[in-house]
Amino acid sequence: MVEALTMPPPDASGGIRAALSGLASRHVLHVLPGFGVGGIQVRLARVINALGSRFRHTIISLNDDLSCRERLDSGVDVTVEEAPPQGSLLARLGANARRIRAAAPDVLATYNWGSIEWAMANQLLAGRRHYHFEDGFGPDEIDRPLRRRGVLRRLSLARADAVVVPSHTLEQIAVSRWHLPASRVIYLPNGVDLGAFSPASPEPPLFARRHDEIIVGTVAPLRPEKNLGRLLAAFARLDAPTARLVIAGEGRERPVLEAFAEALGIADRVRFLGAVREPQQAMAAFDIFTLSSDTEQMPMTVLEAMAAGLPIAAVDVGDIKHMVAPANRAFIVPRGEAMLATALAALVADAGRRHAVGRLNRVHVGGKYPFARMVDGYARLFEGRL
């Protein structure tokens, strides 16, 4: 049985920061494939902000995108650096190990496949306390595992103090496919701040809508694995003149998706918002949240949409069906545009059901996936209190 990291509820009298007041200051070195604005990076920034001055952090980005640095509070002790990989594998391993030793962290935290060489360098040459956070796969591992990557994960993470995953799907993969010891696989689910998605939030929505419109919306980077073409094709099947599709996010796929919407004859009913800083501003005007990805594990956007009181129509990937309230599970369907269109059509046609499922989602996510519990889990990891 894979170990689950179960966190006690936060101290209601003092909140997260008060609960952490007894922690000694420790240095955490984070290595990420990039520190651009994305789900993993935004989650990390929020956790670091919540932990406040109790930890010192160094973030190393393996590409030149450091845009998520703007999400860090000015009062936290964080250094953000670049370290693009250079040279042969042996040269890279040596350079990585030297950088780890020079930083002398109490904890090394590596994230996803893109940082696996740092995990390997630490295991072979540096020997710091190490947690590897694995959140999912890119488009090249969607339908079949890459054997070489599985072997390298097993070898590079064999002596990691823990491999941390946000979904039960990844728990099973880590043990059965990567052959990691079950005792060192830690399930730490994502969490969401319910207050930030209050229905009474003063934040204005990012776009205007007519009173008779039904807004089907999503928040996603426009990358191939998000398969927004599937969403456009599903939306085109709807016989609902008042429905409108809003896509919040930016990426290299945008010109292709805009051309596809035109070819489907729905361009006048689809709006591309571009990048949004805070998803709640877009979700404030949604009636239905939808997700069409080929690969996910525990997407933050689904938790955020639930916190915003929205029903979810999505394809059944990762843990999504188990994340939503039981009343919402009928709208989590097998991958395919026809099934997604059917789920959307049912919600578009029934306002009462939309509102009821959305209310249940908000209650469910507040009880099962609170932000404070996730932050406490990170604090316990960084303190070595597994």
Architecture field, domain 195-368: 3-Layer(aba) Sandwich (3.40)
pLDDT at 25: 82
Class of domain 3-191+370-382: alpha beta
pLDDT in tens, 65-92: 999 999 999 999 999 999 999 999 999 9
Q: Where are the domains of the chain?
A: 3-191+370-382, 195-368
Q: What's the mean per-residue pLDDT of the chain?
A: 90
- Residue found by looking up tokens 């949604």 in the block: 286
- Residue found by looking up tokens 């409108």 in the block: 244
Cα 157-159-162 angle, rounded to 5 deg: 70
**Can 3-191+370-382 and 195-368 be said to share one CATH topology?**
yes
Locate 154 and state its tokens: 């097993």
Residue 359 has pLDDT above 90, yes or no: yes
Give the pLDDT band (50/70/90) at residue 380: very high
pLDDT in tens, 369-378: 999 999 999 9
Residue 263 has pLDDT above 50, yes or no: yes
**Spacing of C-alpha 34 from chain mean position:** 14
pLDDT at 11: 42
What is the percentage of the chain residues whose pLDDT exceeds 90? 76
pLDDT at 76: 95
Distance CA 96, CA 64 (A): 17
Radius of gyration from C-alpha coordinates of the chain: 21
pLDDT in tens, 178-224: 889 999 999 999 999 998 887 665 567 788 888 899 999 999 999 99
pLDDT in tens, 218-262: 999 999 999 999 999 999 999 999 999 999 999 999 999 999 999
Distance CA 365, CA 192 (A): 8
Mean pLDDT along residues 316-322: 95
pLDDT at 37: 87
Closest CA to 344 of 271, 243, 212: 243
